[in-house]
Amino acid sequence: MAGKTFRFGVVAAPQEGGAKWRETARRAEDLGYSTLLSPDNLHLPTPTASLAVAAAVTTELRVGTFVFASPLRTPRAAAWEAHSLSVLTDRRFEMGIGTGIPLMREAAAELGLPYGTGPERLAQVSDTISHLRRLDGDEHTPVMVAAGGPKARRLAGERADVVTLAHSILASQAETAEYAAEIRAAAGGREVELAMNIFVVGEEIPPWIRTFIGHDIETLIEHDSLTLLRGGPAAMAEELQRRREELGVSYYSVNGAFLEDFAPVVARLGGR
């Protein structure tokens, strides 16, 4: 199943001011990461502004939202932001989008927007892609969809360029293989890049990541979680090669806390 070459992203946000953020962007590019990805959260600077700054101080690094939460913007507004950033970065932008998580209900209310039901939020994802395609015209902004449930996987397979497998953190490899197969089936003969987010690199979980994922390192190890990557660079690289062969996943992102720790793996596998 090994087809697409490896590429790697780092998920980060400007929490310590502009100078530190610009340094992070330049460092990610120097270390060989393909993309700098920024989350969508009202407690952080808006991702489009953050990514515009990052693109301005780099030359080849791609930037992307990870991911736009569909309840936090109307579909037309989200497409407008995405298309604008795509144009102004000379097509280095990739729009990541998903239906959001329950914690975003309050954020949507603060913005004066409805959180919506699951089907309504998924329809917003589809509508955003449609608006973006219309705005792009003959150009093509790559779209990543974070797909958790079966309806999201079907939509992602049909419409996205990149699909991030966003199912349960404790899902088995067999379950993940089934989800990947669903996406490929929905894509038909269309080529889709499969992606995964690695929450933990190494043997320790930073406290805030532990709180976010709701599991300790022992639980991740017990379930052989695919969101955990352990061992030295050679062992990690071997594991990712195995996953590409068996699951078809070739695009991996890690949290900014592991920017340096994961760099040797990027050096070994990036573009291969």
Helix (H) or strand (E) holding 238: helix 233-247
Give pLDDT, residue 156.
98
Helix (H) or strand (E) holding 62: strand 62-65
In this structure, what DSSP letter does residue 173 have? Answer: H
Tens-digit pLDDT profile for residues 114-144: 999 999 999 999 999 999 999 999 999 999 9
Percent of the chain with pLDDT over 90: 93
Phi then psi for residue 153, to 5 deg, are -65, -35
Distance CA 147, CA 227 (A): 15
Q: Which whole number is the average pLDDT over 168-182? A: 95
Is-contact 63 32, C-beta < 8 A?
no
Tens-digit pLDDT profile for residues 78-110: 999 999 999 999 999 999 999 999 989 999 999
Is-contact 227 169, C-beta < 8 A?
yes
Q: Which whole number is the average pLDDT over 249-259? A: 97
Residue 3 has pLDDT above 90, yes or no: no
Residue 212 has pLDDT above 90, yes or no: no
Give pLDDT, residue 87.
98
Q: What angle do CA 212, 165, 109 make, to 5 degrees?
A: 50
Tokens of 67: 């991911």
Give pLDDT, residue 1.
52
Cβ of 179: how many Cβ atoms within 10 Å? 21
Tens-digit pLDDT profile for residues 10-69: 999 998 899 999 999 999 999 999 999 999 999 999 999 999 999 999 999 999 999 999
Helix (H) or strand (E) holding 194: strand 193-198
pLDDT band at 208 (very low <50, low <70, confident <90, very high): confident
Residue 161 has pLDDT above 70, yes or no: yes
